[in-house]
Structure 1
Amino acid sequence: MNNNVTRATNYLVKAAMLSAIAVIFMYFDFPVLPTVPFLKIDFSDVPALIGGFALGPLAGVIIEAFKIFLIFLIKGSGTGGVGEFANFIIGVSFIFPASFIYQRRRNIKSALIGMIISTLSMSLAGVIANYYVLIPLYLKSAPSYEMMMYGIVPFNLIKGVMVSASTLAIYKKVSPIIQKENLLRSKKLA
Structure 2
Amino acid sequence: MNELFQNVAENALYVVGFLGIIVVLFVTAVFLEKAARKKNGITEAVFSTRKMAMIGLFSAIAMILHLLDFPLPFAPPFYKLDFSELPILVGTFAFGPAAGVMMEFIKILLKLFVKGTSTAFVGDLANFVIGCSFILPASVIYAFRKNKKTAIVACVTGTLIMTVFGTAFNAVYLLPAFSKLYGMPLESILDMGSDINPLVSEGNIVSFVAACVAPLNLIKGVSVSVITLLIYKPLSPIIKAGHRG
Map 1:91-102 onto structure 2 (within 5 A).
91-102=131-142
The one-letter code matched in structure 1 to 2:219 is I
Map 1:40-55 onto structure 2 (within 5 A).
40-55=80-95
Corresponding residue to 1:157 among 206, 215, 218: 218
Asked if the contact 2:75/2:213 (under 8 Å) is kept, the reply is no
Q: Give yes or no for the alignment of 1:61 onto 2:122.
A: no
2:238 alignment partner in structure 1: 177
Identity of aligned residues (%): 43
Q: CA deviation at 1:128?
A: 2.3
Alignment partner of 1:124: what SS?
helix
For 1:34 and 1:79, how far apart are their aligned partners in 2? 22
RMSD: 1.8
Asked if the contact 2:67/2:111 (under 8 Å) is kept, the reply is no
Map 1:31-180 onto structure 2 (within 5 A).
31-140=71-180, 141=186, 144-180=205-241
For 1:56 and 1:154, how far apart are their aligned partners in 2? 28
Q: CA deviation at 1:33?
A: 3.8
Unaligned ranges ≥5, structure 2 = 1-43, 181-185, 191-204
**Deviation per residue, 1:50-87 (Å, 9 max, x gap):** 11100001111110010011101110012221111110
Asked if the contact 1:33/1:155 (under 8 Å) is kept, the reply is no
Structure number with greater Rg is 2
The one-letter code matched in structure 2 to 1:156 is N
For 1:64 and 1:45, how far apart are their aligned partners in 2? 8
Asked if the contact 2:101/2:136 (under 8 Å) is kept, the reply is yes
Corresponding residue to 1:26 among 58, 66, 69: 66
The one-letter code matched in structure 2 to 1:64 is E
Q: CA deviation at 1:169?
A: 2.3
TM-score for both structures, normalised by structure 1: 0.87
What number of residue pairs does the alignment pair up?
Answer: 178
Tell me which moved more, 135-144 or 71-80: 135-144
Unaligned ranges ≥5, structure 1 = 183-190
For 2:234 and 2:78, how far apart are their aligned partners in 1? 33
Asked if the contact 1:93/1:118 (under 8 Å) is kept, the reply is yes
For 1:36 and 1:168, how far apart are their aligned partners in 2? 30
TM-score for both structures, normalised by structure 2: 0.68
